[in-house]
Amino acid sequence: MKMKTIPCTPERHSSAIRDITNEAILNSTANWAYEPRTTEYMAGWFAAKARKNLPVIGVEDDGGTLMGFATYGPFREHAGYKYSVEHSVYVDARFRGRGVGKLLLRELIAAAAAQDYHMLIGAIDATNPASIALHRSFGFTHCASIKQAGFKFGRWLDVEFYQLLLKTPANPTDR
């Protein structure tokens, strides 16, 4: 099966991204939301990504099925964080273990460098060894642990932060 990376569009991918995200919300601790995403939520989500020039990258198979997606957004809203982004990588449950996450993370890193960001950070549930291994394979390093940061499925959850420092931007400014 061939895989290709594509820029996701709301018209073509909103439903598939919603379904992939909702599976993670309902069945895992990869996403700590409680409520599934709606069609209306996804419209606002895509609009916010477009307004802020933030990528939504997908991987499709030969038949055009979205196998996974990745994106990033501001790490924090204050101006001093303008070179830092927090990213997310989601792979459809049917396609896990096939290299989709690697392809997505590689493209996401390239997009962040092309947009002159300096740091990517991932907040990963401490009980998600596959995501931790994926990030380490790209040179992400553990930079923080927060015990009992969240609560889902009747238990406290710990979060691990993994960061990757990029060589960009060439000339950072305070303005």
Read off the pLDDT of residues 62-98 as tens digits, 9 standing for 90 and up: 999 999 999 999 999 999 999 999 999 999 999 999 9
pLDDT of residue 1: 77
Q: Other C-beta atoms within 10 Å of 9: how many? A: 12
pLDDT at 75: 97
CA-nearest of 150, 55, 157 to 106 is: 55
What pLDDT sits at residue 27?
97
Domains by residue range for the chain, with CATH: 3-165 (3.40.630.30)
8 A C-beta contact, residue 82 and residue 169? no
Q: How confident is the model at residue 58 (pLDDT cuts 50, 70, 90)?
A: very high
pTM of the predicted structure, to 2 decimals: 0.96
List of residues 6+ apart from 151 with CB closer than 8 A: 157
Give the closest residue to 167 by CA, choosing from 108, 96, 117.
Answer: 117
Asked whether the beta carbons of 5 and 57 are under 8 A apart, the reply is: yes
Which residues on neighbouring strands pair with residue 123, listed in sequence order?
Answer: 161
pLDDT digit string (tens) for 1-55?
799 999 999 999 999 999 999 999 999 999 999 999 999 999 999 999 999 999 9
User: Do 163 and 140 contact (CB within 8 A), yes or no?
Assistant: yes
136-151, pLDDT tens digit by residue?
A: 999 999 999 999 999 9
CA nearest 163: which of 129, 124, 115? 124
Which amino acid is residue 46, in one-letter code? F
Each residue's pLDDT tens digit, 92-132: 999 999 999 999 999 999 999 999 999 999 999 999 999 99
Which stretches of 17-65 are assigned E, i.e. beta strand? 56-61
Q: Tell me how far apart the terminal alpha carbons of the chain are, to the nearest angstrom.
A: 46
